[in-house]
Structure 1
Amino acid sequence: MTLTAKGISISDEDGNLKWSTPSLDSGVGALQLTEMGNLVLLDQFNNTLWESFQHPTDTIVIGQQLNVGTFLYGAASDNDFSTGDYRLAISGSDAILQWHGQTYWKLSMDTSAFTNSNYIVEYMAINRTGLYLFGLNGSAVVVQVVLSPSDFRIANLGSSGQFIVRSYSSTGWKQDFLGPVDTCLIPLTCGKLGLCTDDASSNPVCSCPSNFHGGLQNMSGCLPSDSSFSLPIACNSTKNGLQSNSSSVAYLRLGYGMDYFANIFSEPVKFGVNLTVCQDLCSGNCSCLGIFYDNSTGSCYVLEDQLGSIISNTGQSSLVGYIKALVRSTPPDGKGGNNSNGTRKFPTAALVLLPCTGFFLLVAVGFLLWGRWRLSKRRDIKLGHPSSFSSGDLDAFYIPGLPKRFDYEELAVATDNFKTQIGAGGFGSVYRGTLPDKTVVAVKKITNLGVQGKKDFCTEIAIIGSIHHANLVKLKGFCAQGRQRLLVYEYMNRGSLDRTLFGSGPVLEWQERLDIALGTARGLAYLHSGCEQKIIHCDVKPENILLHDQCQAKISDFGLSKLLSPEQSSLFTTMRGTRGYLAPEWLTNAAISEKTDVYSFGMVLLEVVSGRKNCLTRSQSHSVDDSNSGGGHSSSSSGSGLIYFPLLALEMHEQGKYLELVDPRLEGRVTYEEVEKLVRVALCCVHEEPGLRPNMVTVVSMLEGGMPLCQPRLESLNFLRFYGRRFSEASMIEEETEQNDLVLYPQANASTSSTPSDSRIYYSYVSSQQISGPR
Structure 2
Amino acid sequence: MFLASVTPSPLLMGFLSVLPTIFFSCALVSALPFSELIYPNFTGSYLQFIDTSGAFLLSRNGTYKAAICNPDAQKINFYLCVIHVASNTMVWSANRNHPFSEAGKVNLTSKGITVVDETGDEVWSALPTQSSVNALLLSEMGNLVLVDQANISLWESFQYPTDTIVIGQRLPVGMTISSAVSASDLSTSDYRLGLTSSDVILQWHGQTYWKLSMDTSAYTNSGYTVEFMTINRTGLYLLGRNGSVVIQVALASADFRIAKLDTSGQFTVNSFSNGRWNQEFVGPSDSCRLPYVCGRIGQCLANSASSTPTCSCPSNFHLVSLNSNTCGPIDGSFVLFSACNSSNNGSQVDSSAASYLAIGYGYDYFSNDFSKPLNYGLNLSVCQEVCSGDCSCFGVFYENSSGSCYKIENKLGSFISSTDGDNDLLGYIKVVVAPSTNFDGNNNSGDQSQKFPVVALVLLPSTACCILFAIGFVWLRRWRISKFGEEKLGLPNSPSSEELDAFHIPGLPRRFDYKELEVATDKFKTHIGSGGFGAVYKGVLPDKTVVAVKKITNLGIQGKRDFCTEIAVIGNIHHVNLVKLKGFCAQGRVRLLVYEYMNHGSLDRILFGTGPVLEWQERFNIALGTARGLAYLHSGCEQKIIHCDIKPENILLHDDFQAKISDFGLSKLLSPEQSSLFTTMRGTRGYLAPEWLTSSAISEKTDVYSFGMVLLELVSGRKNCLLRTQSHSLDDDSSGSHSSSSSGSGLIYFPLFALEMHERGKYLELADPRLENRVTSQEVERLVQVALCCVHEEPSLRPNMVAVVGMLEGRIPFCQPRVESLNFLRFYGRRFTEDSIIGEENGSNNAILYSQANAFLTTVAGGSYRSVSYMSSQQVSGPR
Q: TM-score range by the shorter chain?
A: 0.5 to 0.7
CA contact (8 A) 1:445 1:486 kept: yes
Equivalent position amino acid for 1:137 in 2:
Q
Q: 1:210 aligns with which of 329, 333, 338?
A: 333
Q: 1:445 aligns with which of 551, 559, 563?
A: 551
Q: CA deviation at 1:463?
A: 1.6
**Matched residues in 2 for 1:444 and 1:597: separation?**
23
Counterpart of 1:700 in structure 2 is: 805
SS at match of 1:306: strand
Change (3 A) 1:223 1:519: same
**Matched residues in 2 for 1:64 and 1:321: separation?**
30
Change (3 A) 1:758 1:548: farther
Equivalent position amino acid for 2:172 in 1:
F
Change (3 A) 1:601 1:374: same
Equivalent position amino acid for 2:292 in 1:
P
CA contact (8 A) 1:163 1:179 kept: no
Matched, 1:686 2:791: yes
CA contact (8 A) 1:401 1:466 kept: yes
Counterpart of 1:20 in structure 2 is: none
Counterpart of 1:465 in structure 2 is: 571
Q: CA deviation at 1:462?
A: 1.7
SS at match of 2:499: coil
Change (3 A) 1:436 1:683: same
Q: 2:292 aligns with which of 167, 180, 193?
A: 180
Counterpart of 2:614 in structure 1 is: 508
Counterpart of 1:44 in structure 2 is: none
**Matched residues in 1 for 2:656 and 2:323: separation?**
45
Structure 2: gaps of 5 or more residues: 1-152, 161-169, 180-190, 239-245, 269-283, 285-289, 300-315, 370-376, 388-398, 420-425, 433-445, 447-460, 732-736
CA contact (8 A) 1:546 1:554 kept: yes
**Matched residues in 1 for 2:431 and 2:485: separation?**
30
Q: 1:431 aligns with which of 515, 523, 537?
A: 537
Question: What pairs with 1:384-463 in structure 2 (closer than 5 Å)?
Answer: 386-389=492-495, 393-395=499-501, 397-463=503-569
Q: 1:90 aligns with which of 207, 211, 214?
A: 211
Matched, 1:304 2:427: no
Counterpart of 2:649 in structure 1 is: 543
Equivalent position amino acid for 1:698 in 2:
A
Q: 2:251 aligns with which of 112, 122, 140?
A: 140
**Matched residues in 2 for 1:681 and 1:364: separation?**
70
Counterpart of 1:234 in structure 2 is: none
SS at match of 1:387: coil
SS at match of 2:752: helix
CA contact (8 A) 2:208 2:367 kept: no
Counterpart of 1:343 in structure 2 is: none
Q: 1:53 aligns with which of 160, 165, 172?
A: 172
Q: CA deviation at 1:87?
A: 3.6
Q: CA deviation at 1:401?
A: 2.0
Question: What pairs with 1:188-207 in structure 2 (closer than 5 Å)?
Answer: none
Q: 1:485 aligns with which of 569, 591, 598?
A: 591
Question: What pairs with 1:617-628 in structure 2 (closer than 5 Å)?
Answer: 618=724, 623-624=729-730
Question: What pairs with 1:691-730 in structure 2 (closer than 5 Å)?
Answer: 691-730=796-835
Q: 1:369 aligns with which of 474, 494, 500?
A: 474
Change (3 A) 1:687 1:212: same
Worse-matched range after superposition: 368-377 or 693-702? 368-377
Question: What pairs with 1:540-619 in structure 2 (closer than 5 Å)?
Answer: 540-576=646-682, 578-616=684-722, 618=724
Matched, 1:657 2:762: yes
Supply the RMSD in Å over aligned alpha carbons.
6.0
SS at match of 1:137: strand
**Matched residues in 1 for 2:217 and 2:527: separation?**
33
Q: CA deviation at 1:366?
A: 3.5
Q: Deviations over 1:345-393 (max 9, x none)?
A: xxxxxxxxxxx99998995463042266489999965996643445993
**Matched residues in 2 for 1:748 and 1:708: separation?**
34
Change (3 A) 1:563 1:56: farther
Equivalent position amino acid for 1:607 in 2:
E
SS at match of 2:539: strand
CA contact (8 A) 2:171 2:195 kept: no
Change (3 A) 1:570 1:396: closer
**Matched residues in 2 for 1:481 and 1:155: separation?**
49
Counterpart of 1:109 in structure 2 is: none
Equivalent position amino acid for 2:828 in 1:
Y
**Matched residues in 1 for 2:846 and 2:267: separation?**
75
CA contact (8 A) 2:646 2:706 kept: yes
SS at match of 1:488: strand
Question: What pairs with 1:60-209 in structure 2 (closer than 5 Å)?
Answer: 65-66=195-196, 86-90=207-211, 92-93=213-214, 137-140=248-251, 180=292, 184-185=296-297
Q: CA deviation at 1:204?
A: 6.3
CA contact (8 A) 2:721 2:853 kept: no
Q: Deviations over 1:676-698 (max 9, x none)?
A: 11111111111111111111122
**Matched residues in 2 for 1:614 and 1:312: separation?**
51
CA contact (8 A) 2:749 2:829 kept: yes
Q: CA deviation at 1:57?
A: 8.5
**Matched residues in 2 for 1:220 and 1:731: separation?**
84
Q: CA deviation at 1:472?
A: 1.1
Q: Deviations over 1:468-506 (max 9, x none)?
A: 222111111111111111111111111111111111111
Change (3 A) 1:542 1:722: same
Equivalent position amino acid for 1:703 in 2:
L
CA contact (8 A) 2:292 2:414 kept: no
Q: Deviations over 1:81-108 (max 9, x none)?
A: xxxx7345515445xxxxxxxxxxxxxx
Q: CA deviation at 1:312?
A: 11
CA contact (8 A) 2:507 2:568 kept: yes
SS at match of 1:480: strand
SS at match of 2:592: strand
Q: Deviations over 1:92-144 (max 9, x none)?
A: 445xxxxxxxxxxxxxxxxxxxxxx6666999968899x98999823239xxx
Equivalent position amino acid for 1:138 in 2:
V
**Matched residues in 2 for 1:86 and 1:312: separation?**
13
Worse-matched range after superposition: 426-435 or 555-564? 555-564
Q: Deviations over 1:21-60 (max 9, x none)?
A: xxxxxxxxxxx9996549xxxxxxxxxxxx9934568989
**Alignment TM-score, normalising by the size of structure 2:** 0.54
CA contact (8 A) 1:196 1:311 kept: no
Identity of aligned residues (%): 54
Worse-matched range after superposition: 461-470 or 596-605? 461-470
Q: CA deviation at 1:707?
A: 2.2
Higher relative contact order (CA 8 A, sep 6+): 1
Change (3 A) 1:765 1:666: farther
SS at match of 1:443: strand
Equivalent position amino acid for 1:210 in 2:
S
SS at match of 2:618: helix
CA contact (8 A) 1:519 1:554 kept: yes
Q: CA deviation at 1:534?
A: 1.5
Equivalent position amino acid for 1:53 in 2:
P
**Matched residues in 1 for 2:505 and 2:639: separation?**
16
Q: CA deviation at 1:411?
A: 0.6
Matched, 1:642 2:765: no
**Matched residues in 1 for 2:642 and 2:658: separation?**
22
